[in-house]
A and B are shown apart, each in its own frame.
Chain A
C-alpha cells in the first residue's frame, strides 16, 4: 500500500507542470481526473493502513482524508469554474492555465504535509503552501484580491517564522538527550519526551501554537483568513478552508503530542481553551454581521477551528475523537458550502448576501445544497458536523470543564443564529424578476453531490475502521502513541 504514496504526491505534481503547456479545455479535464485518482489512492492508502501495510501512523492517515475529499472534488468543480469565472486581466486562457497549475501544485503541497513527521520538514511544506496560496488568491487581479494576497503572505509568513522558532527551540532542547546532530523526527521527541527540559517544551509548544495557529485561522491571529477566503477563487477558498486549516492543525497536533508526553496535558489544554474560545467568539459574533457570502463562510471556518481547539482542550477521549472527526466533517461541509456559494455568486453576479435572493428557485440543485450546507455548518442533524459537535460537547460536559462546555454551547447557538439567518435569506423566496430557473453543469453538480454524500454519510454512520482510526489518532494527540 505504500506504493500509493508516490501516486498521491506525483499526480498533482505532474499535472501542475503539464497543464501550463496544454489547452485549458484539456487541462481542466486532466485536473478533474487527477483529483479523483488522487482521492482514490489516498482512500486506498488509508484503507490499507488499517491492515498495517503502510508506515504511516493514524494521525497522518486521518489528515489525508480532508485532502481526498476536497482535492477529489475541486478538480471536478473547476471544470465548470474555469469556464464561468475566467476574469484574468491578461487573457482568459493564460488565467485558466495558471489557475489549474497553481491549484494542482497547491494540492500537492497540501498532500505532503500529513505524510511528514519531520518537524522541520513540516514547516518547510507549510511555507510552500503559503506561497502557492498567495499566488492563487492574487490570480483574479482585482484590488481586493491584491489586498487579500498581501495581507495573507505577510501575516502567514510572519506566523510561520514564529512556528520555525518553535521547531528550533525544540531541537535545541532535544540536543541534551538526542545528541547535537539528529533528525527532528516526531517519534524521537515522543520517545525522549520525559528527559527533555519541560520549560523548553512548553515554550516550543506556545511558539508552535501561535505560529501554526496563524495558518489555522485561530483568533487572534485569524485576520488574513476572511480576506483570503473571500477574495480568492472559489475552489481555492474550498482548499484553504477544507485542507490548509487542517494541515496547520496537523502540525499543532504533533507539537501537542510531544508536549503532552513531556509535561502532561494541562498546559496544552489551557492554551487550546484560550485560542478555541476566542476563535469561537470571533467567528460566532462576526457571523451575525456579514454582507459577503464568502466572508460569511470564512468566519464560519474560524468558528469551527475554535470548536476543534475546544474539543482538544477538553481532553476527554470522546471530545478529542470528536474534534478529529470534526476536522473531516468541516472539510467536506465547507467544500460543499463554498462550491454552492460560488455557483450562486456567479449566477447573481455578486457576493453581497442582500442581493442574492431565491437561490433555490434560481438554481434548484446548488441553492438546495447551499441551504443544506448552511444548516450542516450550523450544527443541525442529520449531518456530520452535528455528530462531531455532539461528541465534543458530550466529552466536555463529562469533565470538570463543564462550564467551558456550556460556554461553547452558548457560542454555538450564536453562530447558529447567524448562519441560519443568512442561509434562509439567500435560498428562500420566489424566482427574482428577469432570472431564468435551472442549471445544467453536470461536473459542478456532480462534485457537489459527491461531497454532500460525505457530509450526510458521516452524520448517519461512521464506519467501524474509521472509528478505530480516530481512536488511534486521538491516542497520538494525547501523547500515547
Chain B
C-alpha cells in the first residue's frame, strides 16, 4: 500500500476542493455568489502555491502565493462586486440547461481529463503526481462549460477566471521551476483581462440592464 506524504495529502485535498468549488458555479443563481466562489478558489490556489513554495524551499512561489491571495482573493472580487452592483447583483443568472445535466456533462469532462492524464509520466518536478494534470485539465474544461451554459457577461468573466485558476494550479504544481516571471505575468494577465472585460461589460450594460450575452446573435454566417 502506498502512503501519501503530508504534502501530497494536502495538495490532493486542495485539488479536490478546487474542483468542488468550481462545480458549485452550476448551482449559483446570482452573480455575487459567482464572485464569492471565485474568491474562495483564489485562496485555495494561493494555498497550493504556498504549499509548493514551502516544499521546494522556493521563495518566489511564496511571494506569488501572497500576491495571488491579495489580488485574486481580495482586490479583484471586491472590484467585481462593485461592477456587479451597477448591473443589479440580484438578477437571476440564466442557465441553458438544468443543474443535474450540467453536472453530468462536467463529470464526463473530468473523466476524460483523468483518462488523458493517467498515461503521462510527468512525475519529476511535479508536486502532485498523477492528479495535478487531471485537475488542471478538469478546471479548464469545467470553466469552458460554465462559460457556455451561463449566458451572462459577468458569469462568463468569472468562468474564464476560474479556468485561469486551473492553469495557475497546473503551472505551479506541474512545473514549479517555470520562471517566477511567468507566474507574475499570469497574474498581470488576469488583472488586465478583467479590466478589458470590465470595459466591455460596462458597454454592454449601457445597452441593456441584465448584461445578458444572449443578445449577441447579430453576427452570424
Partner-B contacts on A (CB < 8 A): 120, 124, 127, 131, 134-135, 138, 141, 143-144, 146-151, 153-154, 157-158, 161-162, 164-165, 168-169, 171-173, 175-176, 179-184, 197, 199-200, 203, 226-227, 230-231, 286, 289-291, 295
Asked whether B179 lies within 8 Å of A183 as measured between CB atoms, the reply is yes
Nearest-CB residue, chain A, relative to B189: A127
B45 at the interface (CB under 8 A from A): no
If over half of A's interface residues share one DSSP class (helix, strand or loop), that class is named, otherwise mixed; here it is helix
Q: Chain A's nearest CB lies how many Å from the CB of B206?
A: 9
What are the nearest 7 A-B pairs in CB distance? A175-B125, A181-B177, A180-B125, A171-B175, A172-B174, A172-B122, A227-B219
With known contacts A154-B160, A199-B120, A149–B218 Cβ distance under 8 A: no
Instruction: Pick the residue among B116, B121, B167 that contacts A197 (CB under 8 A).
Output: B121
B-side contacts of A135, CB under 8 Å: 196, 199
Nearest Cβ in chain B — how far from A165, in angstroms?
A: 6
Q: Which residues of B contact A168 (CB under 8 A)?
A: 136, 167, 170-171, 174-175, 178
* Closest Cβ–Cβ distance, residue B31 to chain A (whole Å): 16
Across the interface, A172 reaches (CB within 8 A) one of B116, B126, B140, namely B126
A141, A146, A184, most chain B CB atoms within 10 A? A146
B221 lies within 8 A of A161 (CB): no
Complex: A148 Cα to B218 Cα, angstroms: 10
Interface membership of B106, Cβ < 8 A: no
Alpha-carbon distance between A156 and B56 when the two chains are bound, in angstroms: 34
Closest Cβ neighbor of B119 among chain A residues: A199
Contacts of B177 in A (CB 8 A): 171, 175, 179-182
**A147 contacts across to B, CB distance below 8 A:** 216, 218-219
Most buried by B among A138, A149, A169, A197: A169
* CB-based contact B219/A144 at 8 Å: yes
The answer to whether B207 touches A143, judged by C-beta atoms less than 8 angstroms apart, is: yes
B213–chain A nearest beta-carbon distance, Å: 7
Docked complex: B164-214 residues within 8 A CB-CB of A: 164, 166-167, 170-171, 174-179, 182, 185-186, 189, 192-193, 196-197, 199-200, 203-204, 207, 213
User: Shortest CB–CB separation between residue A185 and chain B, in angstroms?
Assistant: 11
Give the distance to chain A from B169, nearest Cβ to Cβ, in Å: 10
From B167, B179, B221, A290 is in contact (CB under 8 Å) with: B221
* Chain A residue at minimal CB-CB distance from B174: A172
User: Number of contact residues on B: which range applies?
Assistant: 35 or more
In the bound complex, CA of A169 to CA of B179 (Å): 15
- Report how far A166 CA is from B136 CA in the complex, Å: 11
Whether A165 touches B197, Cβ cut-off 8 Å, given contacts A120-B179, A171-B178, A172-B174, is no
Which residues B115-131 have CB closer than 8 A to chain A?
116, 119-126
User: Please, could you name 6 A-B residue pairs with CB atoms under 8 Å apart, sorted by A?
Assistant: A138-B200, A141-B203, A164-B186, A171-B178, A172-B122, A197-B121
B41 close to chain A: CB less than 8 A: no
The answer to whether residues A162 and B140 also contact, given A124-B182, A175-B177, A199-B119 and a CB cut-off of 8 A, is yes
Distance from B167 Cβ to chain A, minimum over Cβ atoms (Å): 5
B200 and A146 contact, CB distance less than 8 A: yes
Does B163 make an interface contact (CB < 8 A)? yes
Nearest CB of chain A from residue B164's CB, rounded to whole Å: 6
Q: Are B204 and A203 in contact (CB under 8 A)?
A: no
Query: Which residues of the partner chain A approach B207 to less than 8 Å between Cβ atoms?
Result: 143, 146
Q: What is the CB-to-nearest-CB distance from B217 to chain A, in angstroms, rounded to a whole number?
A: 8
Contact B122 A169 (CB under 8 A): yes
B23 on the interface (CB 8 Å rule)?
no
Closest beta carbon of chain B to A436's beta carbon, Å: 32
